[in-house]
Copies of this chain bind each other. A is one copy, B any other.
Amino acid sequence: MPETSPDDEFMEDRWGAFVRRFDAPLPATGSGALDGWTLAVKDCFEIAGVPITAGSRDYAEWRGLPTADSWAVAALRAVGARAVGTTKLHELAYGITGINRGQGTPENPAVPGAIPGGSSSGSAVAVAAGLARFALGSDTGGSIRAPAALCGIWGYRPTHGLLPLTGAVPLAPSFDTVGIMARNAPDLDAVLRALWASAPTGAPPDGPEITEVLIAIDAVERCSLVMQRAIEETASRLSSRRYRLRERRLDVMDEIREAQAPIQGAEAWSVHKDWIEAASPTIGDDVAALLRIGADRSATELIRATDERTRLVAAVGSIIGPSSALLFPAALGTAPALADFDDPARSLANRRGMLTLHNVATLGGFPAIAFPVQAPGETPLGAQLVGARGADQRILAVARAVE
């Protein structure tokens, strides 16, 4: 994966990133900072006149042909981006591995035989393989950061609510966000500035400069040794950039994952219920099982999980504070092999392990930037910085200091 390859619209998609690759890129609708940049669009963002699968066999037929661009696609086309195609995803964006037996699982261009990560699998693969300069994805519980980390690129999950989801297929609205992937920090920076400028509420507010980075040490301890070393190395670079480093135990990561799961499941069922009951679509076993569990959740379970959410988000919020960021692994290690997910127990442990790293940001709607931290030439390893709500610009600045 050459870091600096020019995008090649004509390069063969031998990784299976795309659902639909356009014969020619869609023209931009305006001119600006992203003039001529090629854009891969996760196939849960509507594009006028393009069928949308949401990663599920029967969705496009039920949805009908979109007649308008989703907010994010329109905002990017308006500043010069040219969409080159729609990319595969974990079915209904409901999974962290990117494995999709119905649509096909994109191959990880950086780690042969490994999962790409999900749910924004095809978007990460398209960017990592040089099939698009940047990509649009979504992040509900890690769906940008996991595939970015496993494919060795940059990823951004905004503060919840900052960027409109109009025209995006929802999964769990109280967690869903638009997200961006790019090959390097300057590209990500340029895309984010353009998107923020288009946001109806304007760019995320300025705030106190982040001067302290808290290493989420109980997250680090759960990861492979190579990841632990990479986080140490990242921390030492940040220290040399004059950030104050401190180890901090969160203690509530499992509780956070356990609070998010029932809320996300119940919201996902609420979102998809009408479609599923009306169209009886074919849905893969893994996602169908999650939806069934969501359908069976009681109102009381939801209320109690929501109360837990309030408590846990306050706890994390008070740890982060206005001038700190949390440094986390964005994966347990390098991308695990596809075969690791054939065994149900190992698969569950792996998926839980990944979600635990991502749900700290998602439960509270905190912004996060995932970025590569492997040594040059090594297999991708991703870290992430998580900031207070609205600290999007400021955590990007910290991540850029690692470069």
Instruction: Point out the residues of chain B lying under 8 angstroms from A269, CB to CB.
Output: 299-300
A-B contact pairs, 9 of them (CB 8 A): A267-B303, A270-B299, A270-B300, A270-B303, A270-B304, A297-B298, A297-B300, A299-B299, A299-B301
Instruction: Point out the residues of chain B lying under 8 angstroms from A301, CB to CB.
Output: 299
Instruction: Point out the residues of chain B lying under 8 angstroms from A300, CB to CB.
Output: 266, 269-270, 273, 294-295, 297
CA A304 – CA B295 in complex, angstroms? 13
CA A338 – CA B284 in complex, angstroms? 58
Closest to A273 in B: B300
CA A294 – CA B304 in complex, angstroms? 14
Closest to A174 in B: B303
CA A138 – CA B301 in complex, angstroms? 26
Chain A, 59-104, CB within 8 A of any chain B CB: none
Q: Which residues of chain A have a CB within 8 Å of any CB of chain B?
A: 262, 265-267, 269-270, 273, 294-304
CA A294 – CA B266 in complex, angstroms? 17
Closest to A265 in B: B299
Instruction: Point out the residues of chain B lying under 8 angstroms from A267, CB to CB.
Output: 303
The distance from the CB of A296 to the nearest CB of chain B, in whole angstroms, is 8
Q: Which of A266, A295, A298 has the most chain B CB atoms closer than 10 A to its own CB?
A: A298
CA A258 – CA B296 in complex, angstroms? 22
Closest to A296 in B: B298
Instruction: Point out the residues of chain B lying under 8 angstroms from A265, CB to CB.
Output: 299
Instruction: Point out the residues of chain B lying under 8 angstroms from A273, CB to CB.
Output: 300
The distance from the CB of A274 to the nearest CB of chain B, in whole angstroms, is 10
CA A124 – CA B340 in complex, angstroms? 67
Instruction: Point out the residues of chain B lying under 8 angstroms from A299, CB to CB.
Output: 262, 265-266, 269-270, 294, 297-299, 301-302
Closest to A302 in B: B299
Beyond A270-B300, A294-B299, A294-B300, list 18 extra A-B contacts (CB 8 Å): A262-B299, A265-B299, A266-B299, A266-B300, A266-B302, A266-B303, A267-B303, A269-B299, A270-B303, A270-B304, A295-B300, A297-B298, A297-B299, A297-B300, A298-B298, A298-B299, A302-B302, A302-B303
CA A276 – CA B38 in complex, angstroms? 60
Instruction: Point out the residues of chain B lying under 8 angstroms from A302, CB to CB.
Output: 266, 299, 302-303
Q: Which of A265, A269, A270, A296 has the most chain B CB atoms closer than 10 A to its own CB?
A: A270
CA A296 – CA B267 in complex, angstroms? 18
CA A244 – CA B294 in complex, angstroms? 51
Instruction: Point out the residues of chain B lying under 8 angstroms from A296, CB to CB.
Output: 298
CA A300 – CA B273 in complex, angstroms? 9
Instruction: Point out the residues of chain B lying under 8 angstroms from A297, CB to CB.
Output: 298-300
The distance from the CB of A294 to the nearest CB of chain B, in whole angstroms, is 7
CA A340 – CA B31 in complex, angstroms? 72
Instruction: Point out the residues of chain B lying under 8 angstroms from A295, CB to CB.
Output: 298, 300
Q: Which of A270, A294, A299, A303 has the most chain B CB atoms closer than 10 A to its own CB?
A: A299
CA A354 – CA B95 in complex, angstroms? 47
The distance from the CB of A161 to the nearest CB of chain B, in whole angstroms, is 14
